[in-house]
Structure 1
Amino acid sequence: MAADFRIRTMAWAPLLLLSCLQSVSAFYIPGWSIKSYSDGEPIPLFVNKVYSDNTQLQYAYSELPFVCAPSGRQRPGTGLISGSNVALNLGEVLRGDRIMVSDYELEMGKDEEVHYLCAHQVDRAGLERAKEVVKDGYVAEWIVDNLPGATSFVTVDKSRKYYAAGFKLGYEEASMVTGQPRYFLNNHVTIAIRWHRAPGRDGRHGKKVIVGFEVYAKSIEAGNRAAGGVPIDLAHPPGFELTMAHNITNTTLARELDASYVLGEYDDGAENATLTIPYTYSVYFIEEPKIEWANRWDLYFVNQDDSNKIHWLGIINSIVISGLLTAVVAVILARTIHGDIKGYKEGLEEGKLRSITGVKRTSKGLRSPKKSFEKDCLLAQPDALDGTPTTLPDDEDDEQLPEEITGWKLVHGDVFRSPAHGHLLAPLIGSGMQLVFMATGLIILSCFGILNPSFRGGFISVGFALYILAGSFSGYYSARVYRTFGGTNWRTNAIVSATLIPGLLFATIFLLNLFVWAQASSTAIPLGTLIALIALWLLTQLPLVYLGSWYGFTKSGAYTHPIKANAIPRQIPPQSWYARNAQAALLAGLVPFAIVFVELMFVFRSLWQDKSGYYYMFGFLAVIGAILILVVMETTVIAVYIQLCNENYNWWWQSFLLGASPALWIFAYSIYYFLHHLHIDGALSTALFFSYSFLACGTLGVALGTVGFLTAYAFVGRIYGAVKVD
């Protein structure tokens, strides 16, 4: 069934960009792409999916066994056929959307007090499925004019109205006699379409635009209905209970006793027993003079406006912390290091010190320039990629460096020594650059309003397109770093760079998909989409990474260092507990984590509960993200400086771990959020939550680790380049 969905994706990146723009109306730019309706013009209603805060499994609404099956009839004036699937972009498929044309008939301006839809029969399996859906608190998502159906509420102070996307499929209440749970299905919906006069020429011709789509669900018993199946009482009817016992004709005594719903005499337990569920709906069109079409999404975010003070508190907290770190970095760069360099050069001019790359002063006088040159050439032999140095005997004239050379200057001959396992670090740096490019593009497009709730699935689709196109950046930076570390097989490095992160993501998602497929959930990625993703990966991204690697390795070459590494590595003295790799990374990660801690609650709530509220926070996230990157850079500079002062020159991997460490704290926060804020049940839903959290934190860690590495690289090159005297 899922394979029948049409997906606008191709194996080539330019066509993928076009597929993301599924139609002009997908863009939500105020004043553009407005759909206006004349009175009596049909308005299509699409059914999408059902989802719940208590589980990560979503289901297509049309595939539920207890809802009306599509009639398949033509919808005049729309060119649509009931039951036909709507073409989806890549992002919509990956987020679990399954959009289908419904049989609900809406005409602009035409109110319908009550309309009969269908009477659907379910067997015992379908009845149990309906109970599970109601018990798990599932809500349905319908779509009209690209707006999701919503339930309206008012704020705590009752001053403003806001929307909560979706509507409940049913409700649960306890029996007053037995205390057992009873489940009721919402089989009647009241649809309220709020309209505003269309802007411009359409408005002068009497056309209208839709600015609100509200759905109010109600449970109405199967009995007490007029001819045609419509209920007589719409105001306060008894609910429709999900039980075979409810099929008895006279329910007066049953309601009085209440216990009769669980007594066997009203349900003989026959396997072929069925329950008939009648579905009806009402439609009302309401003029909304205060809301313009360009602002129609505001009601979905009014409730989040109440947290603005907390958002600004988080931003102020971030600015204060980053300001303190900036002051510390300024002291390190402007005073401490500048003073060290100045003292070094003054001592050199007085003849007390030697240049790092020049002539050495010894107790026997100046070393022969020729002899010094020959030895420096030997010491400058490049290390192997695995960090193993070329061992050469020291000269008898070499003595201990003068006491004036202390701290970070002592490791000048080893600071640019190639790290161990550099063949793994280089692909990570390339993958991080790819992620940074993608994230930057998404933030820019979101700030300009191109990515927004109206562009359904656009965030994921455009993110994939940017990631694929950024493959050339990945290959370029990975190859240059790889060659700097002394690597020679750039083709292997290109393949590792192209498969490391995508391979991990694909393998994890495919494994999870096997279990989700077994649940017939729309969360499962269809087989056709998986094939399309593999094609994008192998036929588009891999060649781009390969091309970037070729150019970076053969044309641009290795990065140059101001100081050549000595052949004999200097012995690293014992480090304090806080200066060791793991402890230093964890401690350094606490500072950036403190920057985003306040915002994390809103981010997690938007992702796992509000479902679409993350669009509202892009302004705040852009500011917090910029501050986070700045803090990661400053923290890395401080930590690397302390490490070098402790005569530990193994900063390559350490700088990457320092930058990536906030992701570990964020993953720890996700565990806390799962335990204290979510109510997810089931082993599969739990596995999905932690797998998605791990993948998200892992990719964030690679991106931030790359930022830390590049910052440390620039910092180390700057300070050691400043002390070099030609």
Structure 2
Amino acid sequence: MEAARSLAILPWIALVFSLCAIRGNGFYLPGVAPADFQKKDPLQVKVNKLSSTKTQLPYSYYSLPYCMPNVIVDSAENLGEVLRGDRIENSPYGFFMREPQMCNIICKLTPNEKQAKEFREKIEDEYRVNMILDNLPLVVPIKRLDQDSSTVYQQGFHVGVKGQYTGSKDDKYFIHNHLSFLVKFHKDEQTDFARIVAFEVKPFSVKHVYEGNWNGNRTRLMTCDPHAKRTVSNSDNPQEVEENKEIIFTYDVDFQESEIKWASRWDSYLLMSDDQIHWFSIVNSLMIVLFLSGMVAMIMLRTLYRDISKYNQLETQEEALEETGWKLVHGDVFRTPTNSDLLCVYVGTGVQFFGMLLVTMIFAVLGFLSPSNRGGLMSAMLLLWVFMGIFAGYSSARLYKMFKGSEWKKIALRTAFMFPGVVFAIFFVLNAIIWGEKSSGAVPFSTMFALVLLWFGISVPLVFIGGYVGSKKPAVEDPVKTNKIPRQIPEQAWYMNPLFSILIGGILPFGAVFIELFFILTSIWLQQFYYLFGFLFLVFIILIVTCAEITIVLCYFQLCSEDYLWWWRSYLTSGSSALYLFLYAAFYFFTKLEITKMVSGILYFGYMLIASYAFFVLTGTIGFYACFWFTRLIYSSVKID
């Protein structure tokens, strides 16, 4: 009893220590309250990581020799932000609310050969600069060519562009050294307070020319003069990146009153995808579900009802001996499968994953995990995974006891370490690769320590607590007795071959989610916002129903062909959808992404391997429990002597 109490206290101690170990000044949830600004309130622009869809390797803003403030201050970051590679720091860009400014000089830079090379490499890889103002990301408005009034937003502005200009045949690298900010605000009608509702920028490349000697930010620029009301436009003389040639960084700020209210300020950022496509995805998935539901209804209401009525109306012993169909294998259907320990571990892990996703989606649908809460989604998923360990231990121990197992601690230990151990090993290798590239996406040691502490200090004890409770529960009784001698399985038809039926079973669950999967991959790898959690929750429900129904249908056909080895096949039937997910990820890589570096390709396929493995565990567990419920239901419905 004392040991159980000690285990119950351990998770809370580990949680406190792990949260304190996060890089930065603590664990927080950013941007949940509106900020009111008056005219004289200073606004400080923060800089985030440099990101690229071509390399998928983020870098800190000051990894390039940009203008720096006197003191660089790191903002506190939560667990999700650190894992995403966010590095939020202060910047020399600052201004006052509702006070437009023109041609502010930040600094003058004369890059050496190494610095010029770094700029050119980032321009070549199409890196973008990410900034933040009042928790709003900086975006570049882009007019869509196919629609006159539609505007889409690109997160961040490109470091520069590569191209040619008049008189040159070779490609040159031009840096965006002038930023024209537009801050939209919503003014309170009764007070003088205003709230920021949009933060936009138009980047320019201009080779500044100044009069006389350089005098810091007091220097008068001939190419951008606030006194003459002349600002930067599309320049015919862009700023090329060359060693030992000076670059002057400048910026403008303009303010615009907007009708958009603070509560709706994220709407324009999020409207990047067409809702009609999502509805098409839902309708497509519902068609699959209706088709499968019809088959299940036919089996359950017609075939099974007829079978059960026939079996229960047998009057003579001779008739009872002439059993056919699925009743024929009643003495073997609940025989303990091979590698039953491993099955218990996978089922327990699947329950843990299912609980994490269900709770996360409920919170996301209710709006607690909106994009304004940067890093909140990943933080929530990790913490929920850890706390769902108690259900993993309970499920694996209960199933293990049904298989007449007695060493529940061994099963709890394997449940606590197998899936997280595989994922952590892959993650550690990928993190080492990122660290070798000197990317800010590499998880620092303190955060890695926090992750291990969450695993060993909270997840493992909770799995053992769940395993202890599950082992004390009475074993689940089989509805029929199991024969001592296993029955020989007759030769199966080609379409009932285990490999064939397993591969066929995974197609429909994948078909139910693949359209929504496209948007999820786009949000992850093309750095777009994903916010349609309502659609995602519907697709998740459809996935559960599809996995359950296809497994039940194929399990019934398997039992009717007198093959009673359904335990592992029920898990693998729906779990094989993970194979199609990985194949689709490979298709997406070669058709939608422009990744050329081998390191970036390794990272992509490494992370998608982790995602596919998790999807296998989730869908396999859903299919297993559906088949488990189905077999117990039908064999408890017939009279067996």
Letter in 1 for 2:193: K
- Paired position in structure 2 for 1:556: 473
Distance 1:23 1:89, change over 3 A: closer
Q: Residue 571 in 1 paired to residue 561 in 2?
A: no
Choose from 505, 511, 518 the match for 2:429. 511
Partners of 2:221 and 2:94 in 1: CA distance: 18
Choose from 292, 317, 328 the match for 1:410. 328
Letter in 2 for 1:26: G
- Paired position in structure 2 for 1:324: 291
Structure 1 segment 690-709 matched on structure 2, within 5 A: 690-709=605-624
- Shift, 1:163, TM fit: 2.0
Q: Residue 301 in 1 paired to residue 217 in 2?
A: no
Q: Secondary structure at the match of 2:285?
A: helix
C-alpha contact 1:10 1:532 (8 A) present in aligned 2: no
Deviations 1:342-374 (A, max 9, x none): 1111114x55544xxxxxxxxxxxxxxxxxxxx
- Shift, 1:69, TM fit: 2.5
Q: Residue 282 in 1 paired to residue 199 in 2?
A: no
- Paired position in structure 1 for 2:241: 242
Partners of 1:225 and 1:207 in 2: CA distance: 40
Letter in 2 for 1:462: A
Distance 1:489 1:17, change over 3 A: same
- Paired position in structure 1 for 2:170: 180
Letter in 2 for 1:586: L
Q: Residue 598 in 1 paired to residue 515 in 2?
A: yes
Deviations 1:255-277 (A, max 9, x none): xxxxxxxxxxxxxxxxxxx3432
407-416 or 295-304: bigger deviation: 295-304
Q: Residue 583 in 1 paired to residue 500 in 2?
A: yes
- Paired position in structure 2 for 1:91: 80
Q: Secondary structure at the match of 2:299?
A: helix
Q: Residue 232 in 1 paired to residue 231 in 2?
A: no
Q: Residue 12 in 1 paired to residue 14 in 2?
A: yes
Deviations 1:163-194 (A, max 9, x none): 22111110010366664321101111111100
- Shift, 1:539, TM fit: 1.0
Calculate the TM-score normalised by the size of structure 1: 0.82
- Paired position in structure 2 for 1:150: 139
Partners of 1:18 and 1:429 in 2: CA distance: 33
Choose from 167, 188, 191 the match for 1:205. 191
- Shift, 1:16, TM fit: 6.7
- Shift, 1:63, TM fit: 2.4
Letter in 1 for 2:392: S
Calculate the TM-score normalised by the size of structure 2: 0.92
C-alpha contact 1:636 1:711 (8 A) present in aligned 2: yes
Letter in 2 for 1:636: T
Distance 1:319 1:16, change over 3 A: farther
Partners of 2:12 and 2:313 in 1: CA distance: 64
Deviations 1:433-464 (A, max 9, x none): 00000000110001000001010000000111
Deviations 1:235-265 (A, max 9, x none): 2431111123xxxxxxxxxxxxxxxxxxxxx
- Paired position in structure 1 for 2:450: 532
- Paired position in structure 2 for 1:135: 124
Structure 1 segment 325-344 matched on structure 2, within 5 A: 325-344=292-311
Partners of 1:219 and 1:230 in 2: CA distance: 18
- Say what the alpha-carbon RMSD is for the aligned residues: 2.0
- Paired position in structure 2 for 1:30: none
- Shift, 1:224, TM fit: 4.3
Q: Secondary structure at the match of 1:110?
A: coil
Choose from 442, 452, 462 the match for 2:360. 442
C-alpha contact 1:314 1:598 (8 A) present in aligned 2: yes
C-alpha contact 2:27 2:79 (8 A) present in aligned 1: no
- Shift, 1:10, TM fit: 8.9
- Paired position in structure 2 for 1:678: 593
- Paired position in structure 2 for 1:469: 387
- Shift, 1:11, TM fit: 6.2
Q: Secondary structure at the match of 1:56?
A: coil
Choose from 618, 622, 627 the match for 1:712. 627
C-alpha contact 1:114 1:230 (8 A) present in aligned 2: no
**Runs of 5+ consecutive residues of structure 2 not aligned to the other structure:** 1-10, 224-231
Partners of 1:520 and 1:275 in 2: CA distance: 27
Distance 1:48 1:24, change over 3 A: closer
- Shift, 1:38, TM fit: 0.9
Distance 1:712 1:18, change over 3 A: farther
Q: Secondary structure at the match of 2:68?
A: coil
- Shift, 1:559, TM fit: 1.8
C-alpha contact 1:151 1:167 (8 A) present in aligned 2: yes
Q: Residue 455 in 1 paired to residue 373 in 2?
A: yes
Letter in 2 for 1:138: Y
148-157 or 708-717: bigger deviation: 148-157
Residues matched between the structures, number: 614
Partners of 2:372 and 2:263 in 1: CA distance: 11
- Paired position in structure 1 for 2:31: 26
Q: Residue 115 in 1 paired to residue 104 in 2?
A: yes
- Paired position in structure 2 for 1:378: none
Distance 1:676 1:11, change over 3 A: farther
Q: Secondary structure at the match of 2:314?
A: helix
Letter in 2 for 1:517: W
Letter in 2 for 1:504: V
C-alpha contact 2:337 2:568 (8 A) present in aligned 1: yes
Q: Residue 165 in 1 paired to residue 155 in 2?
A: yes
Partners of 1:97 and 1:11 in 2: CA distance: 27
Structure 1 segment 652-663 matched on structure 2, within 5 A: 652-663=567-578
C-alpha contact 2:19 2:27 (8 A) present in aligned 1: no
Partners of 1:40 and 1:456 in 2: CA distance: 28
Distance 1:229 1:508, change over 3 A: farther
Partners of 1:161 and 1:467 in 2: CA distance: 38
Letter in 2 for 1:719: I
- Shift, 1:225, TM fit: 5.7
679-688 or 482-491: bigger deviation: 482-491
Q: Residue 106 in 1 paired to residue 95 in 2?
A: yes
- Shift, 1:23, TM fit: 4.5
Distance 1:453 1:16, change over 3 A: farther
- Paired position in structure 2 for 1:47: 47
C-alpha contact 1:471 1:545 (8 A) present in aligned 2: yes
C-alpha contact 2:38 2:194 (8 A) present in aligned 1: yes
- Paired position in structure 2 for 1:219: 205
- Paired position in structure 2 for 1:311: 278
Q: Secondary structure at the match of 2:92?
A: coil
Deviations 1:101-139 (A, max 9, x none): 111112111111111111233221111111010011111
Letter in 2 for 1:211: V
Partners of 1:698 and 1:174 in 2: CA distance: 46
- Shift, 1:19, TM fit: 10
Distance 1:627 1:514, change over 3 A: same
Deviations 1:488-523 (A, max 9, x none): 211111111001111111111111111211111011
Q: Secondary structure at the match of 2:401?
A: helix
Q: Secondary structure at the match of 1:70?
A: coil
Partners of 1:458 and 1:175 in 2: CA distance: 45
Q: Secondary structure at the match of 1:613?
A: coil
C-alpha contact 2:392 2:466 (8 A) present in aligned 1: yes
Q: Secondary structure at the match of 2:506?
A: helix
Letter in 2 for 1:219: S
C-alpha contact 1:453 1:612 (8 A) present in aligned 2: no
Q: Secondary structure at the match of 2:110?
A: strand
Letter in 2 for 1:343: K
Partners of 2:348 and 2:16 in 1: CA distance: 22
Deviations 1:702-723 (A, max 9, x none): 0110001111100000001111
